[in-house]
Amino acid sequence: MSAVRSRSASEVIAHIEKNSVVPHGPWMKGQSPCRIWTLGCDSAGYGMIFFDNKTYKVHRFIYLNKVSEIPHGMLILHSCDTPSCNEISHLRLGTHSDNAHDKVMRGRCKSPTGNAHGSKTCPGRLPSGDNHFSRKFPEKLRRGTANNKAKFTDSDVLNIRGLHQRGETVTFLGARFGVHRETIRRLINKKTWMHIS
């Protein structure tokens, strides 16, 4: 990461431009070449800079200071798919959804989707039935209060089942115990908390 202390934004932009190179190579017709940041980058390859006691990604800093404010939750997308590029003409405002769509459309998606997903191409490799982890190693599952995300205690489970047998609705029980009614329904039908009788 490049540290820039007590400088104005325009001086920082000059620093960025000084430390960015234009590589040689073929460019898409009508597209200007990338300006690659040559100093510190994060693990994903985005150029990083420190300014005014904050850390910025270089492309965001350039967009913020040369184009416009960046609304909360918005991203700055690269049309060139080069994280360290800070060429203004390659940067545009977008959402997380836009970014994910670009990733898939440009073939940068590591995980196959749709019919190319492993669950479709090799369904036999998915653990199911007696090959599933929960059937092979039931002793390794953290059931009930042993699971740190448990919403109920063993006595709550018995109490809920008893109240339901006495006529209380799942909606009422859900509100009383602070969970969705479907959670109560699954507990009553022993889809969950099966080990408690």
> Average pLDDT over the chain, rounded to whole?
83
Range name among 39-43, 66-70, 126-130, 149-153 with the lowest pLDDT average: 126-130
- Chain centre distance of CA 176: 33
DSSP-derived secondary structure letter, 137 = -
pLDDT value at position 101?
Answer: 87
Tens of pLDDT, residues 52-92 = 888 889 899 889 888 889 999 999 998 888 888 888 888 99
Tens of pLDDT, residues 156-175 = 999 999 999 999 999 999 99
Instruction: Delimit the domains of the chain by residue range.
Output: 2-105, 139-188
Nearest Cα neighbor of 80 from 108, 43, 57 is 108
- Residue 134 to residue 194: CA distance in whole angstroms: 13
DSSP-derived secondary structure letter, 131 = G
How many residues make up the chain in this entry? 197
Task: Provide CATH code, domain 2-105.
Answer: 3.90.75
- Residue 168 to residue 177: CA distance in whole angstroms: 13
pLDDT value at position 123?
Answer: 72
